[in-house]
Structure 1
Amino acid sequence: MPSIENAAAIVLAGGRSRRFEGGEKALATVGGMSLIGRVVDIAGRATDRTPIVAVATAEQREAYADVLDALVRFVIDVPDREGPLAGLSGAVEASDARWSLVLGCDMPLVEEASVEWLAGKRAGEADAVVPRTANGLHPLHAWYRRGALAEALETDRSGRSLHALVERLSAVVVSAEESPACVDLDRSVKNVNTRADLKVARTLFED
């Protein structure tokens, strides 16, 4: 049974993979499974709604559908937005869940324990729970109250930065140093942008 109720995962997969030579990075494999497949698998286990996958094109949707075994809902990025905000805008509109677990499609080491622990940090009227490591904030490995996220996206239609969007929200920022021994946030938030990153991820996966 999923751990988090009234929650839907939003997996952002509309990137152009500009720094990843030789194709869509979401289709690269770690441990014999595609990056996007691993993220969707964790997302589906942690939440009680069908994961929503945001893509930029119909071609991406077809390519990802071919490698995903799990049931997902695809949405196309909103055309008048850029970057992660384009995918978020479309996905938030398609969701009816109270909470959204937002993940990048390029995090093959994302851990269920990490997203569940972060979910436990939701409190009061907080709009978001965002982890912070030595490398900074990770808004693409975070929980958002869907209504607050939708309002923030609609209020500033000219915005391009997800970090700037987070600043508009009442966010709980959780440091990796606060996590218990069973939660490795530094590992969970690692993403793949280049072939070198992929090599590192494969090495860490085998540890």
Structure 2
Amino acid sequence: MKPLEEFPVSVIVLAGGYGRRMGGEKLFVEINSVPLVLKVLRKVSRFSAEILLSIAPRQTPYVSAMLSGIISQYGLRLVEDKQEEGGPLGGILEGLKQASLKWSFVCACDMPWISEPVVKTLWRRCEDDTYAIVPRIGGYFEPLHAFYDRECIPAIERAVRSGERKITSFYDSVKVTAVDEGHFSHLPGYKKSFDNLNSRNDLLDPGNAHLFD
């Protein structure tokens, strides 16, 4: 298992989507004038050595301008997903290629409840020769709340070249440590760490009221 001394890791935050169900790019959704992505960055900065923000090439000019303060504050590195049609899988690929460290934690820019105890519990379950550490909640993988080794790059490249868009499509080509729900159940509210905001209705959900604090 991976000792905690190997923390911190690189963090890749995926933000290249169009956010059609949200009514606009999630990267610029604001809650009480606070960008949603900032809430994510505040969480992941607690265990990251560097943060890479994966965006589409079309976004680079205005992301650099509109988020200049946040980029400076967190030392963000913008990563252009040149495989824009590859969806999140392409974003993961470009992020891993440019990450400085061997391991990266991958998440999305619409996951404001990421829990450091959950992330570190996930890390502790790593087994020898593993290239991906992925939680499995309710019997399903959570690939956008997972660790990936740079050794995954060749397998992801093959998947992208073949037209795959599903993140788990390359899992059969590498050793994956699946971490089942029982390993997190002792952590209060652990399930929220895996939740994301998909639409404007999610912002209006009373259960998400604490986002506005």
1:65 aligns with 2:71: no
**Residues 9 and 43 in structure 1, CA contact (< 8 A), matched pair in contact too:** yes
2:92 counterpart residue number: 88
- Residue 98 of structure 1: how far off its partner (Å): 1.1
SS of the residue 1:82 aligns to: helix
Provide structure 2 residue ranges, at least 5 long, that are not aligned to the other structure.
none
Distance 2:90 2:64 in 1: 15
Distance 2:129 2:33 in 1: 41
Q: How does 1:148-187 map to 2 (within 5 A)?
A: 149-156=152-159, 157-158=161-162, 159-182=164-187, 184-187=189-192
Distance 1:172 1:79 in 2: 26
Instruction: Name the Cα RMSD after superposition.
Output: 2.5
Distance 1:80 1:193 in 2: 20
SS of the residue 1:202 aligns to: helix
- Residue 32 of structure 1: how far off its partner (Å): 6.0
SS of the residue 1:109 aligns to: coil
What is the TM-score normalised by the length of structure 1? 0.85
- Residue 33 of structure 1: how far off its partner (Å): 3.5
Distance 1:26 1:178 in 2: 31
Q: Deviations over 1:185-205 (max 9, x none)?
A: 311010011011223363254
Alignment CA distance shift 1:125-1:86 (3 Å): same
User: In the alignment, which of 126, 133, 150 is matched to residue 129 of structure 1?
Assistant: 133
What is the TM-score normalised by the length of structure 2? 0.83
Bigger share in helix: 2
Distance 2:53 2:129 in 1: 27
Distance 1:135 1:37 in 2: 30
1:11 counterpart residue number: 13
**Residues 76 and 90 in structure 1, CA contact (< 8 A), matched pair in contact too:** yes
Alignment CA distance shift 1:139-1:32 (3 Å): same
Alignment CA distance shift 1:202-1:89 (3 Å): same
SS of the residue 1:108 aligns to: coil
- Residue 177 of structure 1: how far off its partner (Å): 2.8
Alignment CA distance shift 1:32-1:171 (3 Å): farther
Distance 1:12 1:110 in 2: 14
**Residues 9 and 50 in structure 2, CA contact (< 8 A), matched pair in contact too:** no
Aligned-residue sequence identity (percent) comes to 27
